[in-house]
Structure 1
C-alpha cells in the first residue's frame, strides 16, 4: 500500500476545464497512490462533501481548518483584553480590516500591483487571488489610496520640486480622454464629460525621471504658470514647444527658457533642445491609465495620475524597489485617516 502526501496550495474542486487543468498533478498522484493525503489550508467546511467528486475510485474525507469550532486554527486573529474581556481584530486600522480575503491573497495582489497589474482580472480570479472583479476593484482602490497618501505627504512637505543645476525640465500638455477614429464606436457618458487637459512637468537628470501631472481646465498662461511656480525652481532650464502660453511668461519669471518648433523639427537644429522624453512618457502614462480604465471619470483619472507620480518619485527610488516602498507605505497606512 502506497501513501502519498501532497500540499495542494489552492485545490480546485470544480468540474470546469480550468479547474481540471489545475488538478493535473493531483490526478497523476491518484494513478500511483492507494491513499492520497491532501493538505489545503483554505478549504472551507461546506466544500468537504465535494472531495468525493474529485476521483471516482477514491472516497474523500477530511477536516476544515477554516472551521473555528474545531479549534485547529484561529482564522481571524484578535487582540484580547483579559481585564475588560473585550477583543479587537489585529487587522483593525490597517488596509486589511473588514476584508474576507486571506493575507496570502492580499500579499499576492500587492506583489502584482507593484509589477503594474498587467494580468487581466479574469486571470487573477482563476489564480484564486480574489473571487470576483468587484473584490479586485476594491483591493486596487485601497492600494491607490495608500500611494496617494504617501505622495500627498511628500507634496505637503514641499519636496516635490524639480529643476536646478545640471537638470532640464520639460513641459507639455496632453489629453487622456481618448478619441474615436473616423467617428466610429459608442459615445457613452465617458466621452460626453468635460474633456480636460493634463499638464505634465518632467525633470530629466542622469539617472532619474520625475514627472508631475496636473489636470487643468485649459492651456492658458493663467492655468499653467502657477503650477510652474509651485513645482519648478527659479533659474531652471526649461524646454517647451512654441505654445503661446510659454513664449514670454517663462523668461520674464527668471527661467532659462528653450523652445523647439514641432512644425519644423523634433530637435531644434541650433540649440539641440527637444521634448522627446516627455512625448515618449505620455505614451507610457496613457497605456497605464487605459489598461486600468482610469480615464472613466475625472476623479478616477486624478487618482491614477497620483499613482504614476508615486511610482517615479517614491517607488523607483526605494532601495528595495517599488514593492519595498509599497510595503513601507502600507505599514504606515491608517484607514481612518483616508476614509
Structure 2
C-alpha cells in the first residue's frame, strides 16, 4: 500500500483491489483511530492539543489563532480531558511509600445541580494529598469531612511507610491511630505556617488548591458531570506535565486508551 499525503489515504495498488468493486482500494489513515470521524486535519488536531496542554491564551484567542470554531475546539478539548480522566480510572492514584512525605488537606468547592428548572449551587468538600517531590497527588470529592471518612480514604490511596502532614484540625487527630507504618505530623496554623520542630507544613497542597480554583469555571462551579474530569485533568498535568514530555505523554495515553 502507498500513502497519498494530500488526502491522508492509504491506496492499495494490487490488481485485485483495483478491479473488484466489493474490495476497497483506499482507506483513510484515521480509520478506527482517535482521529476518526473528524474533518479537521491531523496537523490542526495536534496544534489544538499543544495549545490545550500549554494553556496558551483565552478560549477566544485559541479559536482565532488555530482557525477552529468554538464548538470544534470545545469538542476536542473535552476529548483530551476525557483521556486524562479515563487514564486515572485505569490507573487510580496511589501515592506515598516508605520515607515519602504526603501533605493532606481539604477545601470547599461548589458544584452546579439543575433542580426544577433552576441552578442550585451545592457546596461539597474536596479532600486531597500531595506527595512532596513526586509530582503525584490525589483528590476525592466527599460529602462530609469527619475523621472516619478521611481516615478511610487515606488507607486506600496512601501507602504504608508514608509521613503524613496536616494542619491541626480536629478530624486529623484520629490519624495518630493509623496502623503501624504511617507517621503523622501536624502544624498549628494559628501559631506557625511551618512547625519549627518538625518542619511540617501544608503549603504544597494549599498551592494545589489554588491551581484548581484558578480557572473561573472551577472557581464558580461546574456541571456535576464534568467536575471529576477537571479534577483528573489537574492530577494528570501535575504528574505528566513536564514541559518536554507533556505532548508525548498525552498521545502515549491516547494510544493506550483508544488504540487503532
Q: TM-score range by the shorter chain?
A: 0.7 to 0.9
In the alignment, structure 1 residue 135 sits paired with structure 2 residue 68: no
* TM superposition shift of 1:314: 3.1
The answer as to whether partners of 2:213 and 2:219 remain within 8 angstroms in 1 is: no
* TM superposition shift of 1:79: 6.7
Distance change >3 Å, CA 293–CA 268, structure 1 → 2: closer
* TM superposition shift of 1:97: 1.3
User: Which of 251, 254, 257 is 1:330 aligned to?
Assistant: 254
Note the alpha carbon deviations across 1:63-105, whole angstroms, 9 max, x for none: xxxxxxxxx9863626769264236533133221111111121
Q: Distance in 2 between matches of 1:163 and 1:333?
A: 26
SS at 1:144's partner residue? helix
Q: Distance in 1 between matches of 2:106 and 2:86?
A: 25
Structure-1 residue corresponding to 2:126? 198
Distance change >3 Å, CA 134–CA 293, structure 1 → 2: farther
In the alignment, structure 1 residue 299 sits paired with structure 2 residue 221: no
In the alignment, structure 1 residue 99 sits paired with structure 2 residue 38: yes
Q: Distance in 1 between matches of 2:99 and 2:161?
A: 11
In the alignment, structure 1 residue 238 sits paired with structure 2 residue 164: yes
Aligned alpha-carbon RMSD (Å): 2.9
Structure-2 residue corresponding to 1:164? 97
Structure-1 residue corresponding to 2:64? 126
Aligned residues: 244
Greater relative contact order (Cα < 8 A, sep 6+):
2
Q: Distance in 1 between matches of 2:63 and 2:34?
A: 20
Q: TM-score, normalised by structure 2?
A: 0.81
The answer as to whether partners of 1:162 and 1:231 remain within 8 angstroms in 2 is: yes
Q: Distance in 1 between matches of 2:102 and 2:66?
A: 44
As a proportion of its length, which structure holds more strand?
A: 2
Bigger Rg over Cα: 1
* TM superposition shift of 1:264: 2.4
Q: Distance in 2 between matches of 1:309 and 1:211?
A: 6
Q: Distance in 1 between matches of 2:42 and 2:151?
A: 46
Q: TM-score, normalised by structure 1?
A: 0.64
* TM superposition shift of 1:209: 2.8
Q: Distance in 2 between matches of 1:275 and 1:233?
A: 19
The answer as to whether partners of 2:103 and 2:164 remain within 8 angstroms in 1 is: yes
Kindly report which structure 2 residues correspond to 1:14-163, keeping only aligned pairs within 5 A, or say none. Answer: 75=7, 77=9, 82=17, 84-86=22-24, 88-115=27-54, 117-130=55-68, 132-155=69-92, 160-163=93-96
Note the alpha carbon deviations across 1:248-302, whole angstroms, 9 max, x for none: 2443433211111222221223323111111122112221x43678941122121
SS at 2:61's partner residue? helix
Structure-2 residue corresponding to 1:267? 194
Kindly report which structure 2 residues correspond to 1:196-235, keeping only aligned pairs within 5 A, or say none. Answer: 196-205=124-133, 208-235=134-161
Structure-2 residue corresponding to 1:281? 208
The answer as to whether partners of 1:95 and 1:333 remain within 8 angstroms in 2 is: no
* TM superposition shift of 1:173: 0.4
SS at 2:66's partner residue? coil
Q: Distance in 2 between matches of 1:281 and 1:73?
A: 44
Q: Distance in 2 between matches of 1:140 and 1:335?
A: 19
The answer as to whether partners of 1:315 and 1:326 remain within 8 angstroms in 2 is: no
Q: Distance in 2 between matches of 1:216 and 1:97?
A: 37
